[in-house]
Amino acid sequence: MVQKAATSTTSAKMTVPSSIPATQRAIVINKTGGPEVLEYNEQYHTPKLEDLKTNQILIRAKFAGINFIGELRLFYSQYLRSC
């Protein structure tokens, strides 16, 4: 499900899906570390449409991933700055 603002010359309209679940499955990262800090949560709160800011959207993802090389580069760039 994708929410997006439709642009027009008179006003912006939002397409809202018929139903949005109250919870979602999520992998939560609350601290830095290795794979052991990943926490699987089957009842993670889904943001309400009313809580979204005007520049935010709510999307439905079937698959997601983490770019390991990007994360490694970010880690080393932060590490090298601290030396």
Q: What is this structure's pTM? A: 0.50
pLDDT in tens, 21-50: 899 998 888 888 888 888 999 999 998 888
**Which carries the bigger pLDDT value, residue 10 or residue 53?**
53
Question: Which run of H or of E encompasses 82?
Answer: helix 68-82
Q: Measured between alpha carbons, how far is 41 from 22 in angstroms, rounded to an integer?
A: 14
Do the beta carbons of residue 40 and residue 53 sit within 8 Å?
no
Q: For residue 66, give both structure tokens.
A: 């983490």
User: Residue-wise over 54-78: b if at least 16 C-beta within 10 A, else e?
Assistant: eeeebeeeeeeeeeeeeeeeeeeee
pLDDT in tens, 47-62: 888 898 999 988 888 8
